[in-house]
Chain A
Amino acid sequence: MEGAPDEELMLAYKAGNAGAFETLYARHRARLYRFVLRAVKARAVAEELFQEIWMRVIEARARYAPQARFTTWLYTIAHNHLVDHWRKRGLSLVALDGEELPATGDPDPADEAQAREALARFAAALDALPALQREAFLLHEESGLSVAEIAAATGSNEEAAKSRLRYAMAKLKAAINDG
């Protein structure tokens, strides 16, 4: 089952093959973890959310139907958990999505000190992205989702997904060139 597509592995797991899940988990664990970590920017919270997302995958296996790529399904679950997380913290995704709002990330003092280093600038720029723009960028860059898949995973339309991604990339590009 090592070379089997994700969807086939998930169906095998649904049928009771625990080994199929292990293969699937090995494929996606690192990227999903980084996606969550960079979305919430706190390791402890990221680990908790990461575990909840996989638990949700396990619980939802009986209802799984390969209507889209497994990756899209997985990141839809991840997105929903992030939304819940932000809501619990009183953050509004809609407000954070607004272009006119200032960046919400508070750069670490250490990052400020190394501001001249390009990588630090890039990291700060990523942290400073509005949540939905950062999510769109991470889904695209880390998880390899297309604009249509980002729209599907985040429950938005393609125009909105494309717009968020374009804004995010423009800001990150500016951070790189701003040296």
Chain B
Amino acid sequence: MADERDPQISQRYRELGTQEPPPALDRAILAAARRATSRHRWYSSLAAAAVLIFAVAIVVQFERQPPDQVPMSTPSTPVAAPPSEQQAAPQEREAPTRSPAKPAQRRRAAPDVQFAPEPPARTERAPSAPAPAPTPDANVAAPAAGAAADAERKRADEMQAAPQLQRSRVMPRAAHLEEEPPERWLERIIELRRAGRHEEADKQLAAFRQHHPSYKVPEAALRREK
């Protein structure tokens, strides 16, 4: 009922006049409206550019960082280092194509690797790195010789296939061998001889002599049989 207009009242109201805002006021308001939209575009462009620069900066920063991260975990857990590096290397190659969020994830993941290595790394490491759990009885190592040889062969193949991985592996491995008891090292060399991997056994023997120059080597057991 109240929505209905009274024609008489409407008529009188119209007779009051049709005042309008002055043109200067119109111009001022329309100019402000235009300024607001141009500012909007300017802010949008600036924001997009800032995001792009930030993303590039993160990628560049991350490209320079990885070598610093790995040694932090190697002194305390020398055995865990090789797998973590093995994981890091492919990631490094992929880094430029990844989103900026990934580097942050990787940086957080580094300590996790140290305390809880991922299952695939553990399975690969078990046969090839007997040092962390040396068996009291040296004879027990004999059945594992085949597996150890396979692992060594696999490692050699990987090194040939991925030369860029070689550097990252050799260094921790050398550190690892330095800590290995000399007896255990010699046993491994003997195992390599038995497996017919003489070239590698020779290399290991040379390395052994270099690291333990005063140690008396059982030449008969280590000699290459022809």
A interface with B by C-beta (< 8 Å): 13, 16-18, 21-22, 25, 29-30, 33-34, 37-38, 47, 50-51, 54-55, 58-59, 61, 118-119, 122-123, 126, 140-142, 146-147, 162, 165-166, 169, 172-173, 176
Contact = CB atoms under 8 A, between A and B. Distances in A.
A140 B30 CA distance: 27
Contacts of B15: 119, 122
Nearest to B34: A18
A78 B12 CA distance: 24
Contacts of A21: 30, 33, 37
A146 B3 contact: yes
B20 A172 contact: no
28 contacts: A16-B37, A18-B34, A21-B33, A29-B20, A29-B21, A29-B26, A33-B19, A34-B18, A50-B21, A51-B28, A54-B29, A54-B32, A58-B36, A59-B36, A118-B12, A140-B3, A141-B10, A141-B13, A142-B13, A147-B2, A147-B3, A165-B2, A169-B2, A169-B9, A172-B9, A173-B9, A176-B8, A176-B12
A33 B20 contact: yes
B216 interface: no
Contacts of A166: 2
A173 B5 CA distance: 12
B interface: dominant SS: helix
Contacts of B32: 54-55, 58
A112 B225 CA distance: 133
A32 to B, nearest CB: 8
Given A119-B12, A146-B3, A172-B12, 11 more contacts: A13-B33, A18-B34, A21-B30, A30-B20, A38-B16, A55-B29, A122-B12, A122-B13, A147-B3, A169-B9, A173-B9
Given A54-B29, A147-B3, A61 B16 contact: no
Contacts of A126: 13, 16
Interface in B105-120: none
A25 B29 contact: yes
Contacts of B22: 47
Interface residues of B, number: 29
Contacts of B37: 13, 16-18, 21
Contacts of B154: none
A68 to B, nearest CB: 16
Contact of A16 (B5, B12, B41): B41
Contacts of B5: 140-141
B51 interface: no
A140 B34 CA distance: 31
B18 A22 contact: no
A33 to B, nearest CB: 4
Nearest to B33: A21
B25 interface: yes
Contacts of B137: none
